[in-house]
Structure 1
Amino acid sequence: MLQFTFIESDAALADACAQMSKYPIIGVDLEADSMHSFKEKICLIQIATNDEAFLVDPFTIDNFSPFVDVLENPDIIKVFHGADFDVRSLDREMGARINNLFDTEIACRFLNVRERGLAALLKDHFDVHVDKKFQKQDWSKRPLKSDMVAYSVGDVAYLIALHGILVKRLAAIGRLHWAAEEFEAQARVRYENNHAPPFFRKIKGAGKLDNRSLAVLENLLTLRMDLAEKKDVPLFKIMSNQSLLAMATGRPRSLDEIKENKMLSPRQVQMFGHLCRQAIDRGMALPHKDLPAYPKTVMPRKTPEVMARITALKKMREKKSESLGMEPGFLINNATITALAQEKPVTHADLDAMGVLRNWQKEALGDTILKTL
């Protein structure tokens, strides 16, 4: 195992950041408690150089500015795996902006690697076996167990070596600059607060509900939010989205009806049934003028000509996906295909003006898209 140092004070963090700033590349990973707490938080920060690892306990640190300076230093490559959650978490808690990010998961997408989980990559390239049980551990608890510490070090110990392997493979097929553009886009994502009303906007399927059902759903979602916050547990540990949607559409008038239709488990009925019934009644009693409405996006009508272009572009995508060795949805998604079919650009300048394609996508597909249209 890579030698590591626990960082539990501002002074120790400043010293560690001064050391790692001397290196051109570091590996970074985070552990959080999203499976265990209402408001997820970073519980451990792992950083690795070629020579050692640093495990930073954020619960004992007040001043993260030395670490933020490292993240924002454009001369240091920061290697993450599946960086989306990490980037959003670092933005939420430190306001950090990551420069010179390299995401090994994204790199694998450009290399047609189907098994892209870090555990699979470590096994394939380094014959290292990772126990996935640690992904569900409660990292907020202290002290950390020795096997959790070993796992956390292992998560970053091979990132720099993996970066070297993937860079060579990307460069060999001329896609390193493609990946770099996607890394930059990943570094720009920002944290979005999912705990802000109206809550129904975050629920898949809510857009199909009538206004009265939306009112009931919003009351149920507010109830779940309050319960989760009081118990300090994730929303899914109170009631599932499916359960709330079932009650919002079925509008049960009794606990027996909730039970019979299996909208909640018997235990949930016992714990939350009466509160759910009250929430449903409040939604049913809301005056018509106060009923919520789901924001409607006016989409251009898909004429037969547009539909034909969509079909042609999807067929083109399948062929290019096979020839390039890239998954179709990553190569170009359905929303972009629809936009292209509706706009029907004729020239490369038209494609540029639309702003729906990355530069690497225009390089890979631009001529073929225009020819297909």
Structure 2
Amino acid sequence: MAETEFINQAEALKDFVERIRGADWLAVDTEFIREETYWPELCLIQIAAGDHLACIDPLALKGEAMAPLKALMLDPKVLKVFHAARQDLEVFHHEWGALPQPVFDTQVAASMLGHGDQVGYANLVQSLCGVELAKGHTRTDWRARPLPEAAVEYAADDVRYLGPVYQQLQQALKDSGRLTWLDEEFEQLTREALYLPDPANAWKRVKGHRKLRPRQLAVLVALAEWREEEALARNRPRRWIVKDQALVDLARRPPVQVEDMADMRDLPNAVREKHGRVLVERAQSGIKAEPPAVSSRPDRLSAEEDATVDALMALLRARCAEHDMSPAQVATRKQLEALIQGERDLPFLKGWRGAMAGQSLLDLLEGRLSLTVHEGKLKTA
């Protein structure tokens, strides 16, 4: 079992990188804080390769001191293994302006082998390695220095067993003929657009936007775009600027003057005094703007359509049971509803999802396939 090094000196980091440079893959994890910021604040990087394991302190190592590690992490010849990679990748993209590639996400891989959708790392380690990980440091302040030794070891465990987990999952996927299924999953995961701010589409993240009428939605677009820009500029969480509910209320009742917002419960006086004028300006500009294009599908299905979705869900579950996979990894009920309402540009009709279940679902919908029950099991004909 590899011993943990805590690295906070440039020479020590350079030496560590030299020792692991020849590895084919690295097990990687991060610890970060983002409760008070828009961007995650990177506090610790854990890396394991072979007999080497280090917890690297990015709060002590800045700029050129991190250059050896950055070069290794961005080396396209070295596979980077993560569990639930998306937030870690966001952290690295923000720090370095580039994404580590290629990657392997053990959470995605495990979901293709019957471990359930979004299985946790600790559960996976226990299932595959027979090791129960400690849980005592989930609320650690990773910015604190010095970090308690127990916290460092807790963080180190996040990569100590990640390598063995990766190797078992990779072999199981290879044996089952599903290893190539991961290619499109990881290609999507490493699309840079996922990690770039997009103020123009920030309205899609606002809870309650689906309940607005088109003209109200146009106002929300303008307000949410301003909030995203403000949060970015100040590096503060969106909710610290203006709460979602306040944006929705403003979209429903666009103010003409600051005084019109006086009775809005989710808009504190301090926010109104600081941002009132710009909120009025943005709301009024939204009134004049073209509403965003949204789906024209009705919110509720007819009874017949709902029954059809039930039949499609039954077939989806049967196909996934054959492959010991979670249905959620293939398609959602919302996507099946879109299918029966005429959409065809859907993820589950493409790639491995299409081959495994998507084509059968389309065949059932269009009458080329039927369902029967034989000896208590769902069959297709």
Which range, TM-score by smaller chain? 0.7 to 0.9
Distance 1:139 1:211, change over 3 A: farther
Residue deviations 1:297-352, cap 9 Å, x none?
A: 4669999999998665444213212332222221134576567667799xxxxxxx
How far residue 127 of structure 1 moved from its aligned partner, in angstroms, is 3.0
Residue type at the aligned position of 1:129: L
162-171 vs 245-254, which deviates more?
Answer: 245-254
Give the TM-score normalised by the residue count of structure 2. 0.73
Residue deviations 1:75-110, cap 9 Å, x none?
A: 543221001122233233324444442211011111
Q: Distance in 2 between matches of 1:227 and 1:336?
A: 32
Distance 1:255 1:303, change over 3 A: closer
1:252-271 paired onto structure 2 within 5 Å: 257-259=263-265, 263=266, 269=268, 271=270
How far residue 219 of structure 1 moved from its aligned partner, in angstroms, is 4.3
Q: Distance in 2 between matches of 1:133 and 1:249?
A: 44
> Aligned residue for 2:328?
329
Residue type at the aligned position of 1:36: E
2-11 vs 330-339, which deviates more?
Answer: 330-339
The structure with higher relative contact order (CA 8 Å, sep 6+) is 1
Q: Distance in 2 between matches of 1:226 and 1:87?
A: 24
Whether contact under 8 Å (1:90, 1:96) holds in the other structure is yes
1:1-373 paired onto structure 2 within 5 Å: 2-59=2-59, 60-63=61-64, 64-73=66-75, 75-114=77-116, 116-124=119-127, 125-131=129-135, 133-134=137-138, 136-194=139-197, 196-197=199-200, 199-206=202-209, 208-211=212-215, 214-215=218-219, 218-219=222-223, 222=226, 226=230, 230=234, 233-249=236-252, 257-259=263-265, 263=266, 269=268, 271-275=270-274, 278=277, 281-283=280-282, 286=284, 291-297=288-294, 313-333=312-332, 337=336, 357-365=349-357, 368-369=360-361, 371-372=363-364, 373=366
In structure 2, stretches of 5+ residues that fail to align are 367-381
> Aligned residue for 1:350?
none
Whether contact under 8 Å (2:200, 2:225) holds in the other structure is no
Higher helix share: 1
Give the TM-score normalised by the residue count of structure 1. 0.75
Q: Distance in 1 between matches of 2:11 and 2:349?
A: 45
CA-atom RMSD in angstroms: 4.1
Residue deviations 1:58-85, cap 9 Å, x none?
A: 3423244533443344554322100112
Q: Identical aligned pairs, as a percentage?
A: 23
Q: Distance in 1 between matches of 2:172 and 2:137?
A: 31
Whether contact under 8 Å (2:46, 2:156) holds in the other structure is yes
Residue type at the aligned position of 2:21: S
Q: Distance in 2 between matches of 1:157 and 1:7?
A: 16
In structure 1, stretches of 5+ residues that fail to align are 346-352
What SS does the corresponding residue of 1:78 show, helix, strand or coil? strand
Q: Distance in 1 between matches of 2:24 and 2:188?
A: 21
Distance 1:116 1:271, change over 3 A: same
What SS does the corresponding residue of 1:31 show, helix, strand or coil? strand
Whether contact under 8 Å (1:109, 1:327) holds in the other structure is yes
Distance 1:137 1:210, change over 3 A: farther
Residue deviations 1:219-242, cap 9 Å, x none?
A: 477468647855x54223454313
What SS does the corresponding residue of 1:45 show, helix, strand or coil? strand
Distance 1:296 1:162, change over 3 A: same
> Aligned residue for 2:369?
none
Whether contact under 8 Å (1:104, 1:166) holds in the other structure is yes
Residue deviations 1:243-287, cap 9 Å, x none?
A: 43234435685777334xxx35xxxx3543544655554456x36
